[in-house]
């Protein structure tokens, strides 16, 4: 395979490294690696033979340097990187790289005037891009794990849970009551936020992504699309814009 036609897009998130292998501009494969399995990432990338890499990271400086040492000629993405979308955000230096990548994907791929990503992972994030005005901002709320942890951390007796499966509205013991509050609460929050966006913005499309997105039922309509690899694809759009 011609290495010139290949690009690795590495999204180093809080829970894992999600790596997209692009061939001739198309996503060919996605793999996940932990920060402790960088040797496996190195072996896989060497077997592919690609030398072009774009990286975004929300990890510590030490872990980010460990990744960059494997790909010394990589392009690192930040809010200062040239982007295919204008950022209209009051504190660009604090804007998460994942939100930037999602915005870039929306700007380059949506056909409607307004587009929203719903990214359900460590946090539940809504982000809005206007086709002409660029990235306008959004909202951030705690995700599943953070809500479970806060209930355990800030109470004396509530246990720490991790279950993400659907649950009845009415819990019949403490564990199921906590699970209902967290899972059904996020479900209701997402649905209501979607309705608020529909009320305030015309010609609207939603993209749903994130590691926990599959645990929630987001009613399928013509304006809602699921793409678990949206952030990686947005990272590649940034690479292509700068190439």
Active site members: 98
- Rg of the chain over Cα atoms, rounded to whole angstroms, equals 19
Q: How far apart are CA 179 and CA 16, in angstroms?
A: 25
Class of residue 146 by CB neighbours under 10 A (exposed 0-12, middle 13-18, buried 19+):
middle
181 contacts 168 by C-beta, under 8 angstroms: no
Q: Which two tokens mark 40?
A: 């496996």
118 contacts 206 by C-beta, under 8 angstroms: yes
- C-alpha closest to that of 206 among 231, 189, 223, 221: 223
User: Strand, coil or helix: what is 59?
Assistant: coil
Q: How far apart are CA 233 and CA 42, in angstroms?
A: 21
Helices and strands counted in the chain (H then E): 7, 10
Q: How far apart are CA 210 and CA 228, in angstroms?
A: 6
Question: 96 phi and psi, to 5 degrees?
Answer: -60, 140
């Amino acid at each position: 395979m011609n290495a010139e036609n290949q690009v690795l897009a590495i999204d180093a998130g809080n829970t894992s490294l999600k790596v997209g292998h692009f061939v001739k501009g198309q996503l060919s494969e996605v793999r996940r690696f932990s920060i402790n399995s960088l040797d496996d990432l190195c072996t896989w990338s060497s077997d592919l033979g690609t030398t072009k890499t774009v990286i975004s990271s929300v990890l510590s400086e030490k872990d980010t340097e460990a990744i960059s040492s494997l790909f010394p000629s990589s392009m690192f993405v930040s809010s200062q990187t040239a982007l295919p979308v204008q950022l209209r955000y009051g504190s660009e230096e604090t804007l998460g790289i994942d939100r930037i990548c999602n915005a870039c994907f929306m700007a380059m791929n949506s056909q409607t005037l307004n587009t929203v990503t719903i990214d359900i992972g460590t946090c539940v994030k809504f982000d809005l891009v206007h086709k002409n005005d660029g990235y306008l901002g959004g909202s951030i709320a705690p995700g599943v794990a953070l809500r479970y942890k806060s209930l355990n951390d800030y109470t004396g007796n509530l246990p720490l849970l991790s279950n993400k499966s659907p649950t009845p509205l009415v819990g019949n013991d403490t564990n199921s009551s906590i699970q209902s509050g967290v899972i059904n609460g996020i479900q209701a929050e997402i649905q209501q936020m979607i309705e608020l966006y529909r009320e305030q913005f015309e010609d609207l499309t939603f993209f749903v992504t994130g590691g926990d997105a599959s645990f929630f039922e987001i009613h399928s309509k013509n304006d809602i699309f699921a793409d678990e690899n949206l952030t990686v694809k947005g990272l590649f759009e940034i690479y292509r814009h700068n190439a």
